[in-house]
Chains A and B, each alone.
Chain A
Amino acid sequence: MNGSFDILMVGIGGQGTILASNILGEACLIEGRHVKGAETHGMAQRGGSVESHIRIDGLFGPLIPPGQADLMISFDLLEALRYSHYLKKEGRLVVNNHLVLPTSVYTQKLVAPTEDEIIAALKKHTLCLLDADKMASDAGSPLSQNVVMLGAASGSIPLKPESLLEAVRRLVPKKTVEINTKAFEMGREFGGICR
């Protein structure tokens, strides 16, 4: 069987999950490890719900079966709940404490769970909740939110933090290396105490 470490990253199209997945992939290359992944491209990127599978040491297919992810990183509370069945019982969940309601809630008057209800439901897993928007702004740019999230999750990822940081430096735009390094470290520090 596959001895991979499986990470599912979810969010809303446009939130930067693709860059985060590239950073993880690059870090695997830096350590000379195999990696497989699959992600949503195309139409769903227009504000739809998106998922990105990353299998560190993966040798075969790119898809993580439901119930098998070791770690889930979610950029949105509702998306965390939508995909939470992908997580193993003992899996860890790192979630941005932020809720964007789908527009259908307003246009079709659908009922959405409240933030508190979502958090209560997510608590059956090991949950690390963080305000990545704010931490990213503190680091210097709200756009570094995805790197904050990676930093916060990094303690559970079987890759050296130096490799992840190196991957961040290689992949973010040159001008933002400093901001993103800071974002990663802030996330990592927070992730260390919230688990």
Chain B
Amino acid sequence: MERKYLLGNEAIAHACVESGVDFVSGYPGTPSSEVIDVLRTQPDRSYYLEWSVNEKVALENALAAAWCGIRALCTMKHVGLNVAADPLMTSAYTGVTGGLVIMSADDPFAHSSQNEQDTRCFAKFARVPCLDPASVQEAHDMIPSAFRLSEEFGLPVIFRPTTRICHSKGDVALGEVVPSTRKGEFHKDPRQYVVIPAHTRILHKKLNEKQPAIKKRLVELGYNQFEIRGKTAVIASGIAASYVQELLPDGVSFMKIGAYPIDEEWLGAFVNKHEKVLVIEELAPEVEEVVRQVAGCVPVFGKKNGYGSYEGELSPPAVAAILVKAGLLPANPFPSVDPVQNLPLRPPILCAGCLHRSAAYAIKKVFKDSIYPSDIGCYTLGLQMGVVDTTICMGASITVASGIAHSGDPRDILCTIGDSTFLHTGIQGLLNAVYNGANMTVVILDNRITAMTGHQPNPNTGQTACGVESPHVSLDALCRACGVHFVESVDPFDITGMMHVLEGAKKRKGVKVIIAKQMCVISARRAGVKRGRYQVDADACTGCGNCVRFGCPAIVFADEKAQINDLCSGCAVCVQICPVGAIGREGKR
């Protein structure tokens, strides 16, 4: 067997190829994106693959593929599953014939997310099996059996790795690639696929009847397992199980939960062999709740009585602290150490020459005391420039803007949204705002790529996930078709020009759309666009600091003068900001 040092997501992608996956769809979202990014760049692909426009669209496509009897994978981040919740809930009723694995990557500690929701709760809600790997190797090994499990029970299976699995690395033993021989074929069966009330009532009953057998099977498959070593037990799930294994003293029993739903009878038998049970898991008390149901008079320790937290992620010291508190370890082997205090933070920032920074600058100049609903993308970093007043979920800048517009606040409302987010769930909001007569300005920040998650193409890029040229989408025509009369395209690097159009929008009533177009710096660099660098004439520079406050990371301040370093990507916006004309092209003075 071949061993490779792989990122969790790379190992997951490889396991999908090993499983002979036939159909892949998804929407990018950290920490899930690399799975499709790896699959879409494989040299000889035997599967269909797409980046879909949003998660609901992705899941419905994958579901249809699984209805045709082929193996489908659908990837997203945890909050993407909210968007796909509608098809998810009913796909459990209709079931599948080909295997359908839905990867929904959770993000405890919200490293790059708007919340810390727990996909395990969603799986319970939908009544579908959920696999929760404890290591990169296990994430890899779970995929082939997730497909088999899905086919065995005719149900979608949720695969739920967390950031610490997706973005962890390890030496992984890979399996053989077994190419698929399946051919998709749709067998008409209205009682299965048309969920009118008469059908759905029966399907619901069937779904519920499948549950006991699933629970048994998950134990047989070894996802849920235990070792009895004493009178006290620790039960841990997901990555927490890895941390516990590193720390567990001899003589303490250990149960590892890697799959849901948990077989209560099996669990109860284990718990009742002990005098005390401690449950350690991240986020929701999913395991703990079941343990408490079956524990009878065995005392249970878990987050419900203060042993562990409902928020954030675990770590070896955090797990050790819980073990100490529960009396299972004499002392924390990782004495706490204090980081150096008061260092300036280094949060992520917009790249040098990013269109979002110059657009934000122009917006701030024209729409001074306005309300700025915003959305999810690199431009959320515009928070640092004061042009982000709200973000809640994908597509919610336009809807929040129209909601505020109808709530009586007299200030101007200007919302920002990226092109990918606009196509994801922004269009409906725009249609609604126009339909209901809101007064607001929408700035679509159009860099023709889904940048933040790692530069995935979208319909506005003109290329599919696999690099095939795709039909041109006109954002301008889309907005006009929604009924917007004021639609203007601008170059955000031309500050004066953009301010002029913003002023025009400010004067008018109704919904106005401004499309600010410039390529993302990173995709421009990859495409070989060269703009040349800029430099500060030290004699002319008065040290006023205007350019430095603009916040481009290529501009630094030393000896009371501005300087431009080699991060400069040549957008020339600082040239327009400098009041004394001290900035010019490199090599020219």
Give me the interface of A with B, judged by CB distance under 8 Å: 1-2, 12-13, 21-22, 25-26, 28-29, 33-49, 54, 58-63, 65-68, 78-79, 81-85, 101-107, 110-113, 121
**Are A40 and B340 interface neighbours, CB within 8 A?**
no
- Is B316 in contact with A61, judged by CB distance below 8 angstroms? yes
Q: Are B344 and A104 in contact (CB under 8 A)?
A: yes
Of all chain A residues, which has the CB nearest B339? A85
The interface residues of chain A, by DSSP majority, are classed as mixed
Neighbour of B317 across the interface among A60, A65, A103, CB < 8 A: A65
Cross-chain contact B168 with A36 (CB below 8 angstroms)? yes
Q: Can you pick out 8 interface pairs between chain A and chain B where the beta carbons lie within 8 Å of each other?
A: A35-B5, A36-B168, A49-B346, A66-B334, A66-B337, A101-B556, A103-B553, A106-B548
Which of B120-128, B241-249, B467-475, B576-584 forms part of the interface with chain A? B241-249
Contacts of A65 in B (CB 8 A): 315-317, 334
Contact A38 B549 (CB under 8 A): no
CB pair A62–B164 under 8 Å, yes or no, is yes
Inter-chain contact B348/A47, CB cutoff 8 Å: yes
Q: Shortest Cβ distance from B154 into chain A, in angstroms? A: 35
Question: A121 to B351, Cβ gap below 8 A?
Answer: no
Contacting pair B168 A42 (CB below 8 A): no
Contacts of A104 in B (CB 8 A): 344-347, 384
The interface bits of chain B over 1-24 (1 if a CB of A lies within 8 angstroms of the residue's CB, else 0) are 001110000000000000000000
Q: Which residue of B lies closest to A44 (CB)?
A: B348
CA of A13 to CA of B336, assembled, Å:
27
A35 to B172, CA, bound (A): 9
Q: Please, which residues of chain B bring their CB within 8 A of the CB of A43?
A: 30, 111-112, 348, 452
Judging by beta carbons under 8 Å apart, are A36 and B551 in contact? no
Residue on B nearest A86 in the bound complex, by CB:
B337
Least Cβ distance of B244 to chain A in Å?
9
| Interface range, B side | 35 or more
The main secondary structure of chain B at its interface with chain A is loop
A121 to B342, CA, bound (A): 14
CA distance A63 to B243 in the complex (A): 9
Q: Would you give the shortest CB distance from B8 to chain A, in whole angstroms?
A: 9
Question: Is the pair B334, A68 in contact by a Cβ cutoff of 8 Å?
Answer: yes
B residues whose Cβ falls under 8 Å from a Cβ of A: 3-5, 30-31, 34, 111-112, 135-136, 164, 167-171, 239, 242-243, 245-247, 315-317, 333-340, 342-351, 378, 381, 384, 452-454, 545, 548-549, 551-553, 555-557
Report yes or no: A103 in contact with B381, Cβ–Cβ below 8 A. Answer: no
Docked CA distance A103–B239 (Å): 35
Cβ-closest 8 pairs across A and B: A25-B5, A48-B348, A42-B30, A37-B169, A60-B246, A46-B348, A49-B346, A62-B168
Contacts of A28 on B, CB cut-off 8 Å?
Answer: 5, 171
Contact A22 B549 (CB under 8 A): no
A61 in contact with B5 (CB, 8 Å): no
**Contact for A46 among B344, B345, B381, B556, CB less than 8 A:** B381
**Residue in B169, B346, B548 whose beta carbon sits within 8 Å of that of A48 in the complex:** B346
Residue from A2, A66, A84 within 8 A of B336 (CB atoms): A66
Q: Is the CB of A84 within 8 A of B3?
A: no
C-alpha gap A1/B164 in the complex (Å): 20
Q: How far is the CA of A162 from the CA of B351 in the complex (A)?
A: 38
- Residues from chain B with a CB closer than 8 A to the CB of A83 are 339
The chain A residue sitting closest to B452, CB to CB, is A43
Known interface pairs A29-B4, A61-B243, A63-B164. Does A111 touch B344 (Cβ–Cβ under 8 Å)? yes
Pairwise interchain contact B349-A103, C-beta atoms closer than 8 A: yes
Report whether A62 and B169 are in contact in the complex, using a CB–CB cutoff of 8 Å.
Answer: yes
> By the criterion CB–CB under 8 Å, are A36 and B170 in contact?
yes
Bound CA–CA A67/B4 (angstroms): 29
Given contacts A41-B30, A67-B334, A107-B548, contact A84 B344 (CB under 8 A): no
